[in-house]
Amino acid sequence: MNLGIGIDTGGTFTDSAVVDLESGLVISKAKALTTRQDLRIGIENSLSLLDRSLFARVKLVSLSTTLATNSLVEGKGSRVGLIVAVPNPPTFKLPSDLPATESTVIIGAHDRQGEVAVELDVKAASAAVRRMADRVDAFAVSSYFSIYNAEYEAMIKNLISRACGCPVVCGHELSADVGLIERAVTACLNARLLPVIAELLDSVKQTLIKNEIKAPLMMVKGDGSLTTGEIARIRPVETVLSGPAASVIGACHLTGMNDAVVVDMGGTTTDIGLARDRIASASTHGAIIGGWRTRVKAADMWTVGVGGDSKISVHSARDIRIGPRRAIPICWAAHTFPSLKQALGDLIQPRGRKKETPGLDFFTLSRKPAFPLSRYEAALIDRLDGRVLHKNQIEAEFGPFIHVERLIELGSISEVSFTPTDLLN
């Protein structure tokens, strides 16, 4: 019997299963909490609940995830610097909502025949790299008609590589389709996701080694097909919608239906897709991710930032919002951090003449950041290590010297708040 292991790491749970590759029969399955502070822990916990006697017969390990989709929906990931080369910068305007922290437009372009239309301004490119180097974690590069001649993208990439150690993603490496902005968006998203998928792959590899599982590691792409772990590490944007695409195929397998509408609600997002002949319907124009049109070939899914762990914000009696940001449910946090119960009790005490009740806006440490911190940020990280603090307490202790939102976006701090999971409990 040839066996395979499937691992799906979602925003809330990590599921694993041992499957007979010939019959498709699920022989052993398990579920454990995803541990955002260290993904390896959640993966190990899930695999430890499987029948270990089967591991010696495993011939393939397949990995799917919603971490890439969740990161983009929540606005998290690396800080990206975007450099775009066009024929006439004064008449060209980048969209204001591009997924880049810093961006600049310089002159340089090729034509449809791949010939030089306008020479690249190398000095401007170098100046842009120097300006951004200390403010970003990765670079994205897109130049006019680079699908016909990628020379200028390669030149800018070389400039960046010589100037700093940041990874660089070029538009032509991810798409051969026309569309400068779409290629730029795709490159930005790919750059943002590099550390997210790298951490996941490293965690899975370490767990497989620990369990003496020597099978090759494959990863589900957003269109439901498989790719190697090493290619996924370089092109993580192609794993966006990986989890939902696997859900569509899995739903057909489990129900025996060939055509279906599949709704998959997780902790962070709800994904709706179509299956035709047991295959996830593909997007013909490139997936829309987090509101951005990309050149990523993926399942045709409708994704919205509403899930079991979506933050519920009450702005008024008639204005209650759910998502798109994920929060740690209060019920889980109170179980993990007993001091939170006392903090909640303090919030409902009589507050004199003050009518406004503080919101349920708590924060805790997800992981200690590897990037440089100000002394105030470093002090906050120490305070949140193993603790949960209310927003008002953070403001009282650190005042205007802390940009909490930045630390949330970079995945160092997590919100703890009221969610649908709390309602259900």
Instruction: For residue range 144-171, list pLDDT tens digits in order.
Output: 999 999 999 999 999 999 988 889 999 9
- Is position 251 within any domain? no
How many folded domains does the chain comprise? 2
CATH number, domain with residue 97: 3.30.420.40
- Is position 290 within any domain? no
The answer to whether residues 227 and 339 belong to one domain is: no
Each residue of 370-411: pLDDT tens digit? 777 888 888 888 899 888 999 888 888 887 777 888 788 777
- Is position 293 within any domain? no
Question: Does residue 355 have a pLDDT over 60?
Answer: no
The answer to whether residues 215 and 341 belong to one domain is: no
Q: Which domain holds residue 341?
A: 327-424
Q: What is the pLDDT of residue 346?
A: 81
Q: Domain end: 240, 257, 276, which one?
A: 240
Q: Domain end: 217, 240, 263, which one?
A: 240
Q: Domain end: 189, 213, 240, which one?
A: 240
The answer to whether residues 98 and 235 belong to one domain is: yes
What pTM value is reported for the model?
A: 0.78
- Is position 75 within any domain? yes
- Is position 259 within any domain? no
Instruction: Give the count of beta carbons closer than 10 Å to the beta carbon of residue 176.
Output: 12
- Is position 200 within any domain? yes
The answer to whether residues 134 and 19 belong to one domain is: yes
Confidence of residue 175 (pLDDT cuts 50, 70, 90): confident
